[in-house]
Amino acid sequence: MGPDLQTLSDPALVVAIGRWRPDALAEAYRRHGGAVFSLAQRVLGDRARAEDVTQTVFTSLWESADRFDPERGSLRVFLLTMGHRRAIDMIRSDGRRRVREERLASQAEAPYDLEREVWDITVADQLRQALGGLSEGERQAIGMAYFGGHTYREVAELLGQPEGTVKTRIRNGLQRLRIALAETGVEVS
Amino acid sequence: MTEHESDMHESMRDLVAVYALDALEESEVIQVEDHLRDCPRCRDELAAYRETAALLAYAGTPAPQGIWEKISGEIGDAGTHPAPKLSLMIGGQKRPARTWALRAAAAAAVVVLAGTGLKISHQDNRINQLTSALADQSLLRQATAVALDPAAKRLALTSPSGQTQATAAVLPDGTGYVVSEAMPALPAGRTYQLWSIVSGRAISAGLMGSHPGVTEFRLADQASTLAVTVEPAGGSARPTSEPVASGSV
């Protein structure tokens, strides 16, 4: 492996991480650490806990680089998926129940605004456009679930809608987003 | 598909989308994960949903430096790292399972590089590498599955001086895979050959080639030892040299 890690593809970088090269892990962190951290922070609303999540994600990439299968998706998606789940686990753990109820209450007063959530991101324009193609209900359901950390049942309860409707909206919304984003050529690096 | 089954599948597809956002009720997660194992179509959908969700999460913000310092502190000295769990290796060695992971990832990386239209200077050689990397990868999958099978026996093949040359995993039916760890490439016209040793007799268990990676073999019934010798290309009916590595079964 040459010294220039910055030119390596993500899968090649993971190979180097597999060889226990800390500089390769540092490069992976440089590429994707910001995304993992900011998603965790959005979900948790707490910087310290988001830092913990980010740390866990990258140390587990170090420990088990072999879990990443490049055929199943990009490294960034892999890391974000891991980080999101970790953040959600934190929210749902028993000790957090009270906080969660408070969150539920405040959510009910101020429904999730997915457009605002993604306002400050690099691909904001295309995303806004793609989000514009979603119905209000789809946007709300996806935002409350993904960024708000609510289960679909909680979303249904908060919005006063049938659970089946919420599930279908999540699926239809994600499908529509995917098609719209593919048309604008946005891709996960 | 009956109407009922089709309804079931439809409702499962909703759940897969919800699962991609980690928004299922805890009691439903296992049900969906079971379904995903059996349904390649839903797995593809899940991958697509996750990618879409990742786009929503897209952030141009740089990675905070303070977190890297913690990570860096936690991973510590790479040399003292404990052996990963999913391992073919037997004891004493450092970083066993990495060999597996590494080869799979390396194979994938080669394909990725090839896909970018990277200039290929030694084309024949490159194509050979690519082909063997791909073959290795699917062999590796099977080999990994065997290595993880609780019924499999794992053994290290060591040189007379005690160095591990290769590791092997064998199922009760005799199907086995051997992975070279440190076997040097042989000159043209030579090959490594595997032998089952049964009551002092050597029975060929297969050829490993001159530059071994992952090799499938069949261990004879009642074999006490698995051994490797260097033989003329094409292999020998009986070993013509002393084993370069062996391990007892």
Clarify whether residues A24 and A105 are in a common domain: no
The single-letter code of the amino acid at B249 is: V
Query: What percent of chain B is modeled with pLDDT above 70?
Result: 65
Q: Is residue A189 part of a domain?
A: no
Clarify whether residues A26 and A85 are in a common domain: yes
What are the tens digits of pLDDT across the range B15-55?
A: 999 999 999 998 899 999 999 999 999 999 999 999 899 88
Chain-chain contact of B60 with A34 (C-beta, under 8 angstroms): yes
Q: Which residues of B touch A53 (CB under 8 A)?
A: none
Please provide the average confidence, as pLDDT, over all residues in chain B. Answer: 73
Instruction: Quote the pLDDT of residue A79.
Output: 96
C-alpha closest to that of B102 among B137, B149, B71: B137
Residue A80 has pLDDT above 90, yes or no: yes
Q: Which residues of B touch A69 (CB under 8 A)?
A: 104, 108
Choice among A30-44, A156-170, B112-126, B141-155 with the minimum mean pLDDT: B112-126
- Distance, in Å, from the CA atom of B48 to the CA atom of B20, rounded to the nearest integer, reads 9
Clarify whether residues A81 and A106 are in a common domain: no
* Both structure tokens of B24: 């299922």
- Distance, in Å, from the CA atom of A86 to the CA atom of A83, rounded to the nearest integer, reads 5
Q: Give the number of domains in chain A.
A: 2
Query: Strand order of the sheet with strand B214-218?
Result: B201-209, B190-198, B225-232, B245-248, B153-158, B164-170, B175-180, B214-218
Which among B52, B56, B81 is the nearest to A20, CB-wise?
B81
Q: In chain B, where are the structural domains located?
A: 3-56, 97-148, 153-248
Name the minimum distance, in Å, from the CA of B180 to any CA of chain A: 16
Q: What is the pTM of this model?
A: 0.57
pLDDT band at A53 (very low <50, low <70, confident <90, very high): very high
Print the domain residue range for A75.
1-92
Chain B from 1 to 20: CB within 8 A of any A CB: 11, 13-18, 20
Chain-chain contact of A177 with B56 (C-beta, under 8 angstroms): yes
Clarify whether residues A86 and A102 are in a common domain: no
Clarify whether residues A158 and A171 are in a common domain: yes
Which among A15, A29, A76 is the nearest to B54, CB-wise?
A76
Clarify whether residues A78 and A1 are in a common domain: yes
Clarify whether residues A81 and A136 are in a common domain: no
C-alpha closest to that of B194 among B245, B154, B142, B158: B245
Instruction: Check the CA dihedral A168-A170-A175-A180 and report its sign.
Output: positive
The nearest alpha carbon in chain A to B40 belongs to: A72
| Residue whose pair of structure tokens reads 């019934």 in the numeric block | B221
Q: In the beta sheet, which residues pair with residue B155?
A: B168
Q: Which residues of B touch A151 (CB under 8 A)?
A: 23-25
Question: The CATH number of the domain where A131 resides is what?
Answer: 1.10.10.10
Clarify whether residues A7 and A64 are in a common domain: yes
Residue B242 has pLDDT above 80, yes or no: yes
Q: Is residue A104 part of a domain?
A: yes
Instruction: Quote the pLDDT of residue B95.
Output: 36
Question: The CATH number of the domain where A10 resides is what?
Answer: 1.10.1740.10
Clarify whether residues A77 and A119 are in a common domain: no
Q: Which of A92, A116, A142 marks a domain boundary?
A: A92
Q: Which of A92, A112, A129 marks a domain boundary?
A: A92
Q: Which of A77, A92, A107 marks a domain boundary?
A: A92
Instruction: Quote the pLDDT of residue A88.
Output: 93
Clarify whether residues A6 and A81 are in a common domain: yes
